[in-house]
Every structure is written in structure tokens, then in C-alpha cells.
Amino acid sequence: MTRFEGKTALVVGGTLGIGRAAAERLASEGARVVTGGREDDATLPGDVRDEAYARALVERCGGLDVLVYSAGVQRYGTVETTPPETWDEVFAINVRGAYLAARAAVPAMRERGGGAIVIVSSVQATASQTGVAAYAASKGALSTLARTMALDHARDGIRVNSVAPGSVDTPMLRWAADQFRGERSSDDVVADWGRMHPLGRVSAPEEIAAAIAYLASDDASTVTGAELRVDGGLLAALAVELPK
């Protein structure tokens, strides 16, 4: 497929996990891809919390058709055990970074006659586990941000959607598995988490990237303000099973 031939895409958080897979998928379909993030192999490395950095990324694109925001951090804790500086860190990277990227991208897309923005949210925006107060709240904010941007910029020809993955085998998930593995291997923990999903496994980053590419493409030309769950059926299931 060449759905993005002649188009330029900016993927913030595009060097790891879902973001990297999204950058590779868009490039494979013909897009010129610029990546941002703190890793050295980003097209332009920097801090997503910095407004000047967001503007520099968009300027590097030289015209922008697609924005994917996939930068994010996970921190554990309740509102009681999460220090204010940790709360602020999560919201600065997960939410402020998305706002700044979109703020810089919208004028550039308007100049091109429109575009598509896809924000990587999470099932945690809808149904949370315990002990992830900051992360879940930030993902709820991202999903809401996507919806309101969709309304604000529809007349500019800019579509805005979010994807809500369940567990995905990324460096972030592996980091989380290490926090709870005890004497087990990280692979065992990830497999256990996968069994909580009706499909019986965690997703691969490439599977989420396919959903991102769909939302960013003209195949989704009338899709805006939507949240696409890519969660292996996780939110379709009740945590109650009938006796065997």
C-alpha cells in the first residue's frame, strides 16, 4: 500500500515501542517520517515537554500531513503514594507533550488544507486497574483532548482520533513486568497479563501501528473524534466467569 505517498508524518515518541512501529508502518506506505523523542536516534532528539522543541519538530517537517503522539511514561502509585513531582512528570510528558505537539501541528496542517492527528491513549482511560492514578488520569485526559480537538478543527479539515491499546509488548510493558516479576521471568509476567485478554496474549506494537495508520489515512476520511480500542477484547470482558 502507498496510502501516504507524498505525505509527511511526524511521530513524537517515534523511536520506541508503538511509536517506532507507527513510524515504520507510515514509512512503509510511502510517508516521509520525522521522529521526535529523547532518544539519540530520533530525527531531532529533544524534550517533548518543551514548546520550542515541538515547534522545531514541525519546522523540520517542512509541511505536515500526519501527527502521531506516542510519547509517554508509566508510574505506579495511588493519589496518596504518588509524589506531586511524579504526578507532574506523567502529565507533562503524556498530556502537555501532546498538547504542545498539536498546538504546533495544527497551523502547519491548516496550510496544507487539512491533516490527521492520532493520539496513543490506553484502555486505562476507560477502565483502570489499581495503583496507576497518574497514568490512568493522564490517558483519560488524552482521550478527551482528542475528542475536543476533533470538534475544534473539523472545519480546518483536520481529523483527530485516539487509539486505546490494552497490553502491548513494548519496553514500557517490559519495565512494568520487571517491577512485579519477583522470582519469575519477565516473559512469564507478560504471558500472564496476556491471558487476561480474551485473545489470550498481549498485542505486538505493529498491530497497534496498523490501527494508527488506518486512522491517519484517507480510508478513515469520515472518522474523527473516535477512540479505537485495540485491546484484544479486554474491555469487552467482565471479570466474572460462569462455573465450569
Contact between residue 184 and residue 143 where contact means Cβ atoms under 8 Å apart: no
Which residue in the list 69, 76, 99, 135 is annotated as catalytic?
135
> Could you give phi then psi for residue 58, rounded to 5 degrees?
-65, -40
Closest CA to 36 of 96, 99, 87, 97: 97
- Residue 71 and residue 12 in contact, taking contact as beta carbons nearer than 8 Å: yes
CA–CA separation, 117 and 120 (whole Å): 10
> Can 135 be counted among the known catalytic residues?
yes
DSSP summary character for residue 98: H
Question: Are 232 and 124 a contacting pair, CB within 8 Å?
Answer: no
Known catalytic residues are 135
